[in-house]
Amino acid sequence: MPVEIGVHDIAMATTTYRMDVDQLARATGEDVDKYRKGIGQDSQSVPAADEDIVTMAAEAGLAIMDRHGSDDIHTVVVATETGIDQSKSAGLYVHSLLGLPANVRVVELKQACYGGTAALQFVAGLLTRHGGKALVIAADIARYDIGSSGESTQGAAAVAMLVVADAPAIAVIEPAVGLHSADIMDFWRPNHRSTARVDGRASVSAYLEACTSAYGDYARNGGLGIDEFSAFCYHQPFTKMAHKAHRHLLNATSMTICQEQFEQRINLSTLYNRTLGNSYTASLYVALSSLLDHGDGLAGGTIGMFSYGSGCVAEFFALKVQSNHEDHLRRARTRELIDSRVPIDYQQYLAQRQYSDVGGGDREFPELTRGPFRLAAIRDEKRVYEAATI
Ligand code: CAA
């Protein structure tokens, strides 16, 4: 009998600060309903000066370690497009902060917002061969130019998943997948920039085209029909995109299934992203957490997952939800993380943003984070992480 590889635990982390879209609307002169209703965002997570993808990834990973320990973990993959080094994997800093043993393979994966899904499939392959456990962490900070249309979609989060080869408690990763890749310039970030370049409209069209193409490939590969899923999670660069994608897929497949039930479940998958903003490769797994934490009757059903990374690579795959998955969720912890973020105004947001500029030189960072780890300094071009004391 083939082994059932899947997600055994899932934990999130985000930043210390949040900026509500009202603040942004005041600064840009836009109607706030463009952001709340048109884009589907209420606020965005804003990293403090001493927070980055490593501190968020380690915080999410720590929750998993606290519950399960590190036994049998042989692989750590950090997926990100907010890389902090061109050579060394961000995962090695996380490995060290979590006190993981030396006999672990650590690597970083990048393909825009698709990296987290690539990491899941990469470890599923390893687990099929070697058994054991792997820690996958998707972590990103979405940043666009000040005053650009993408600014309202910014955000930040990390999602850690413990992936196991035997009896996953939350969901089994089903074997059928559908893929779509194309060399396009819809969204990219050259090495010298700390903000993304984007062709907004083209990126939305590319996402929708990739969605139907990847689902078509999935169906040809023996996947489920649209009407056989109990819910869907779409990559959410802004939450309205999930609704656009779902309508597009239903139209493309000429499905007229009960819209109301699906719209309601898509709404449930957007609750966290509405307030966190885009977290690029973590966003699909933030959507999954939101759906699992808020949806009822998911046990035994199958969730259709659509992962899109600009540039572009897309994958449609499926997760079969385990019967007792609700016993393994972290609803209260996640709610506390989201609700305890400190609201800041537009000027305070600009002040924190200056720390994200790519540049050389030694820097010490003020201690601001409320998370367990912090970026204390960059000295001699080396990043110095430490346990936070606040
Ligand atoms: N009240 C209600 N709705 C309003 C409104 C108001 N006062 N004003 C405008 N709207 C609506 C518009 O009608 C529009 O709705 P529809 O999309 O349903 O037509 C929506 O708000 C957005 O308005 P605009 O299209 O005018 O917005 P924009 O052009 O300023 O920016 C965007 C939209 C192009 C998506 C921009 O936010 C952007 O560039 N974002 C970054 C790129 C991105 O997220 N791309 C998504 C696909 S790529 C991907 O998925 C990878 C990734 O993570 C980046």
Does the beta carbon of 237 lie inside 6 Å of ligand 1?
yes
- Closest CA relative to residue 177, chosen from 125, 129, 253: 125
> Taking residues 295-316, what's their average pLDDT?
97
Q: Are 150 and 92 in contact (CB under 8 A)?
A: no
Q: CA 355 to CA 151: how far, in whole Å?
A: 17
The confidence score (pLDDT) of residue 3 equals 79
Q: CA 6 to CA 368: how far, in whole Å?
A: 36
Which pTM value belongs to this model?
Answer: 0.98
Report which ligand 1 atom has the smallest distance to the Cα of 152: 37
**Tens digit of pLDDT for each residue in 65-103?**
999 999 999 999 999 999 999 999 999 999 999 999 999
Eight-state DSSP code of residue 322: P
The confidence score (pLDDT) of residue 361 equals 86
pLDDT band, very low/low/confident/very high, at 254 (cuts 50, 70, 90): confident
Rg of the Cα atoms in the chain: 20
Does pLDDT of 257 surpass 60? yes
Q: Are 28 and 150 in contact (CB under 8 A)?
A: no
Output the residue whose Cα is nearest ligand 1's atom 37. 150
Does pLDDT of 1 surpass 60? no
Output the residue whose Cα is nearest ligand 1's atom 11. 38
Cα(153) to centroid of ligand 1, in Å?
9
Q: CA 90 to CA 102: how far, in whole Å?
A: 16
Question: Which of the residue ranges 164-173, 180-189, 257-266, 324-333 would you say has the lowest mean pLDDT?
Answer: 257-266
pLDDT band, very low/low/confident/very high, at 360 (cuts 50, 70, 90): confident
The confidence score (pLDDT) of residue 61 equals 98
Pair of tokens at residue 194: 């700390």
Output the residue whose Cα is nearest ligand 1's atom 8. 34
Cα(197) to centroid of ligand 1, in Å?
15
Report which ligand 1 atom has the smallest distance to the Cα of 38: 21
Using a pLDDT cut of 90, give the percent of the chain over it.
92
| Sign of the Cα pseudo-torsion (45, 50, 52, 57, in order) | negative
Q: Are 322 and 171 in contact (CB under 8 A)?
A: yes
Cα(273) to centroid of ligand 1, in Å?
15
Does the beta carbon of 262 lie inside 6 Å of ligand 1?
no
Q: CA 347 to CA 349: how far, in whole Å?
A: 5
Q: Which residue among 143, 148, 204, 308 is best mutated to probe the pocket of ligand 1, counting the most ligand atoms within 8 A of its Cβ?
A: 204
Does the beta carbon of 132 lie inside 6 Å of ligand 1?
no
AA letter at 46: V
Cα(202) to centroid of ligand 1, in Å?
11
The confidence score (pLDDT) of residue 258 equals 62
Cα(169) to centroid of ligand 1, in Å?
37
Helix (H) or strand (E) holding 91: helix 90-97
Eight-state DSSP code of residue 284: H
The confidence score (pLDDT) of residue 69 equals 98
The confidence score (pLDDT) of residue 255 equals 78
Does the beta carbon of 38 lie inside 6 Å of ligand 1?
yes
Catalytic positions, please? 81, 113, 235
> Taking residues 357-386, what's their average pLDDT?
92
The confidence score (pLDDT) of residue 358 equals 60
Cα(21) to centroid of ligand 1, in Å?
14
Does the beta carbon of 207 lie inside 6 Å of ligand 1?
yes
The answer for residues whose C-beta is within 8 angstroms of residue 351's C-beta and 6 or more apart is: none
Q: Are 232 and 246 in contact (CB under 8 A)?
A: yes
Count of Cβ atoms closer than 10 Å to residue 64 Cβ: 23
The answer for residues whose C-beta is within 8 angstroms of residue 204's C-beta and 6 or more apart is: 241, 244
AA letter at 32: V
**Tens digit of pLDDT for each residue in 184-220?**
999 999 999 999 999 999 999 999 999 999 999 999 9
Pair of tokens at residue 90: 């961000």
Q: Which residue among 21, 28, 34 is best mutated to probe the pocket of ligand 1, counting the most ligand atoms within 8 A of its Cβ?
A: 34
Tokens 């899923």 -> residue: 229
CA 383 to chain centre: 23
Does the beta carbon of 301 lie inside 6 Å of ligand 1?
no
> Taking residues 315-339, what's their average pLDDT?
97
Does pLDDT of 30 surpass 90? yes
**Tens digit of pLDDT for each residue in 105-153?**
999 999 999 999 999 999 999 999 999 999 999 999 999 999 999 999 9
Q: CA 324 to CA 63: how far, in whole Å?
A: 20
Helix (H) or strand (E) holding 237: none
* Beta bridge pairs of residue 231: 303
Tokens 């936070």 -> residue: 388
Question: Which of the residue ranges 74-78, 170-174, 251-255, 335-339 would you say has the lowest mean pLDDT?
Answer: 251-255
Q: Are 94 and 137 in contact (CB under 8 A)?
A: yes
**Tens digit of pLDDT for each residue in 141-182?**
999 999 999 999 999 999 999 999 999 999 999 999 999 999
The 10 Å CB-count burial string (b at 16+, else e) for 180-211 is bbeebebbebeeeeebbebeeeebbebbbbbb
Does the beta carbon of 278 lie inside 6 Å of ligand 1?
yes
CA angle 283, 331, 243 (to 5 degrees): 40
Helices (H), 200-327: 200-220, 240-252, 259-276, 283-294
Output the residue whose Cα is nearest ligand 1's atom 9. 34
Output the residue whose Cα is nearest ligand 1's atom 28. 149
Does the beta carbon of 210 lie inside 6 Å of ligand 1?
no
Using a pLDDT cut of 70, give the percent of the chain over it.
97
Question: Which of the residue ranges 9-18, 24-33, 272-281, 352-361 would you say has the lowest mean pLDDT?
Answer: 352-361
Q: Which residue among 149, 195, 286, 307 is best mutated to probe the pocket of ligand 1, counting the most ligand atoms within 8 A of its Cβ?
A: 149
Tokens 């996640």 -> residue: 334
Query: What separation in angstroms does the CA of 322 have from each of 7, 43, 171, 223, 287?
Result: 10, 32, 5, 19, 18
Pair of tokens at residue 285: 């797994």
* Per-chain mean pLDDT for the chain: 95
Q: CA 50 to CA 376: how far, in whole Å?
A: 6
Output the residue whose Cα is nearest ligand 1's atom 44. 237
